[in-house]
């Protein structure tokens, strides 16, 4: 999977680009971004999806000379991606051996499959390395536990294959890495983490909240990381406080998504810096114009690298954030954002006392989408320990067609929750943006 060209590329970018945002001033970062943007636009013109979109506007690759031209490009929504055929989202010149599909963990309640490539995965890891070093974690020496979706097609799967890992030996000591599957229940994860005794734990907020709950109840005595990081879904203040208190450690949050990779991260001052060497972020108001400092806008991301599905002016993460004007003392001269709001998820409790990742359930629904179930959006609500409701927005005339799929979903939910738990699947006309995709009303973690 990891070919020589990708390794050389990452080696080059590791040596020259690492910590770029701290070494370079604003002007030089912008120059770097201008160049990267032009490349991505050229790549986008090689996909049917973007070419048609841009031609409609009369755009040519040469119209985009740098970031000052970015507003000429139309905004791309999640719906646009969902409706496009996956092949139309791929550059026609791509070497298919280098790419793989990644399905989003369903954290927006609107399933989506995008293409990724090895180089993209490596760049994300590079961003991760910078985040760790900012927080005093030595990724060559310290023991690192990552809890992610490592199932085939899952967002973190690309990091798992042996060939990929062996290629990474240049950059990471892979023996010091423990990768755990988010679909395991919190207790069995805690047991594995206890044996490994990591210096750092990274994972989705709801799962770390589950582990924090166990820690508070006396489990995982040997689990004493010096640093914890969350990413993948929104981290609210309550969850942050809960995890920090349970592990008696400072937590930093990474703002990311499957489509756009890592977007921003908290420095040691706690401010969210945009990863300017990886992405360009716009915060746009309802009128489509950039918001002023102190104002809240929709997050629109352009990913400045990658050879598979280009992500250009993408609003589909459905998040909002505030535009911040402060010079941060950490020394990075990159844009700052704050108070990110959007994709939220709760952990799920079971009758027999297990704590499960919400992504176990979102991925069940996503697996039926792959089998042909056409869901516009869904929400899972755990009303009580013995009742779970799945709200799905599908065309009303399709309800009967999908009956088999719904029966399958019910069976799969029951398999994990227990036969006696009632699973109610309800059709709704519409689900609003920004409703938590998994909402648990069960008391215990709140």
Q: Are strands 279-284 and 200-203 parallel, antiparallel or unpaired?
A: unpaired
Q: Minimum CB separation from Zn ion for residue 276, in Å?
A: 12
Check if the beta carbon of residue 343 is closer than 8 Å to that of residue 112. no
Q: 267 or 279: whose CB is closer to Zn ion?
A: 267
Q: Minimum CB separation from Zn ion for residue 323, in Å?
A: 16
Q: Minimum CB separation from Zn ion for residue 134, in Å?
A: 8
Q: 249 or 328: whose CB is closer to Zn ion?
A: 328
Q: How far from the centroid of its chain's Cα atoms is residue 272's Cα?
A: 16
Other Cβ atoms less than 10 A from the Cβ of 213: the count is 20
Q: Minimum CB separation from Zn ion for residue 132, in Å?
A: 15
DSSP letters, 158-185, are GGTSHHHHHHGGGT--GGGEEEEETTS-
Q: Minimum CB separation from Zn ion for residue 142, in Å?
A: 22
Sign of CA dihedral 270, 132, 102, 179: negative
Q: Which residue has the tokens 């927005």?
A: 393
Cα pseudo-dihedral 27, 29, 32, 33, rounded to 10: -100
Q: What are 422's two structure tokens?
A: 């009632």
Q: 29 or 267: whose CB is closer to Zn ion?
A: 267
| Burial category of 58 from C-beta neighbours within 10 Å (exposed 0-12, middle 13-18, buried 19 and up) | exposed
Stretch that binds Zn ion, among 99-107, 215-223, 260-268, 280-288 (CB under 5 A): 260-268
Round the CA-based radius of gyration of the chain to a whole number and report it: 21
Q: Minimum CB separation from Zn ion for residue 34, in Å?
A: 24
Q: 330 or 439: whose CB is closer to Zn ion?
A: 330
Q: Minimum CB separation from Zn ion for residue 21, in Å?
A: 10
Distance CA 119, CA 95 (A): 12
Q: 22 or 296: whose CB is closer to Zn ion?
A: 22
Counting Cα atoms < 13 Å in the Cβ hemisphere of 184 gives: 18
Check if the beta carbon of residue 82 is closer than 8 Å to that of residue 370. no
Q: 337 or 392: whose CB is closer to Zn ion?
A: 337
Distance CA 167, CA 172 (A): 9
Between 5 and 44, how does the x/- string for binding to Zn ion read (CB under 5 A)?
Answer: ----------------------------------------
Between 320 and 359, how does the x/- string for binding to Zn ion read (CB under 5 A)?
Answer: --------x-x-----------------------------
Distance CA 216, CA 204 (A): 18
Nearest to 40 by CA among 305, 313, 314: 305
Q: 158 or 278: whose CB is closer to Zn ion?
A: 278
Q: Minimum CB separation from Zn ion for residue 51, in Å?
A: 39
Q: Minimum CB separation from Zn ion for residue 293, in Å?
A: 16
Q: Minimum CB separation from Zn ion for residue 18, in Å?
A: 17
Nearest to 102 by CA among 301, 303, 300, 257: 257
Distance CA 111, CA 126 (A): 27
Q: What are 238's two structure tokens?
A: 């309550």
Which 152-211 positions form the footprint of Zn ion (CB under 5 A)? Answer: none
Nearest to 107 by CA among 439, 410, 441: 439
Between 383 and 402, how does the x/- string for binding to Zn ion read (CB under 5 A)?
Answer: --------------------
Q: 88 or 333: whose CB is closer to Zn ion?
A: 333
Distance CA 114, CA 100 (A): 9
Choose which of 186, 212, 235, 267 interacts with Zn ion (CB under 5 A): 267
Q: Minimum CB separation from Zn ion for residue 271, in Å?
A: 5
Q: 325 or 400: whose CB is closer to Zn ion?
A: 325
Q: 269 or 339: whose CB is closer to Zn ion?
A: 269
Size, binding site for Zn ion by CB under 5 A: 5
Q: 114 or 279: whose CB is closer to Zn ion?
A: 279
When asked if residue 269 is in the footprint of Zn ion (CB under 5 A), the reply is yes
For residue 158, report the phi and psi dihedrals to the nearest 5 degrees. -60, -25
Write out the residues near Zn ion by the rule CB under 5 A: 267, 269, 271, 328, 330
């Amino acid at each position: 999977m990891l070919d020589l060209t990708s390794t050389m590329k990452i080696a080059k970018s590791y040596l020259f680009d690492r910590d770029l945002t701290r070494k370079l001033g604003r002007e030089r970062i912008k120059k770097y971004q201008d160049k990267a943007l032009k490349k991505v636009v050229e790549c986008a013109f090689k996909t049917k999806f973007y070419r048609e979109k841009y031609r409609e506007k009369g755009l040519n690759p040469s119209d985009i000379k740098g970031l000052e031209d970015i507003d000429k490009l139309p905004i791309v929504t999640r719906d646009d991606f969902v409706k496009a055929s996956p092949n139309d989202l791929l550059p026609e010149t791509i070497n298919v051996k280098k790419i793989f599909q990644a399905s989003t963990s369903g954290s927006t309640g609107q399933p989506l499959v995008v293409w990724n490539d090895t180089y993209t995965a490596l760049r994300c890891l590079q961003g991760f390395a910078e985040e760790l070093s900012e927080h005093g974690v030595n990724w060559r020496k310290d023991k690192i536990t990552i809890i992610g979706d490592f199932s085939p097609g899952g967002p973190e799967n690309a990091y798992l294959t042996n060939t990929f890992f062996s290629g990474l030996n240049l950059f990471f000591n892979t023996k010091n890495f423990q990768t755990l599957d988010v679909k395991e229940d919190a207790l069995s994860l805690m047991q594995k983490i206890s044996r490994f005794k990591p210096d750092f734990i990274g994972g989705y907020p709801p799962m770390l909240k589950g582990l924090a709950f166990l820690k508070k109840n006396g489990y995982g005595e040997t689990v004493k990381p010096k640093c914890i990081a969350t990413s993948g879904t929104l981290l609210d203040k309550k969850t942050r406080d809960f995890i920090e208190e349970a592990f008696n450690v400072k937590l930093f949050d990474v703002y990311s998504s499957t489509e756009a990779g890592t977007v921003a991260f908290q420095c040691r001052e706690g401010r969210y810096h945009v990863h300017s060497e990886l992405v360009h972020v716009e915060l746009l108001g309802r009128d489509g114009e950039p918001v002023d400092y102190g104002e809240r806008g929709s997050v629109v991301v352009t990913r400045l690298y990658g050879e598979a599905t280009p992500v250009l002016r993408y609003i589909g993460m459905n998040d909002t954030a505030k535009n911040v004007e402060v010079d941060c003392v950490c020394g990075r001269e990159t844009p700052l954002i704050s108070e990110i709001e959007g994709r939220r998820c709760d952990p799920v409790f079971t009758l027999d006392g297990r704590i499960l990742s919400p992504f176990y359930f979102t991925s069940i629904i996503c697996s039926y989408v792959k089998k042909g179930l056409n869901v516009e959006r869904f929400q899972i609500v755990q009303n009580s320990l013995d009742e779970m409701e799945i709200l799905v927005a599908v065309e009303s005339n399709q309800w009967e067609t999908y009956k088999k799929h719904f029966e399958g979903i019910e069976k799969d939910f029951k398999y994990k929750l227990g036969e006696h738990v009632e699973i109610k699947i309800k059709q709704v006309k519409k689900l609003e943006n920004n409703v938590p995709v998994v909402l648990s009303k069960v008391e215990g973690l709140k």
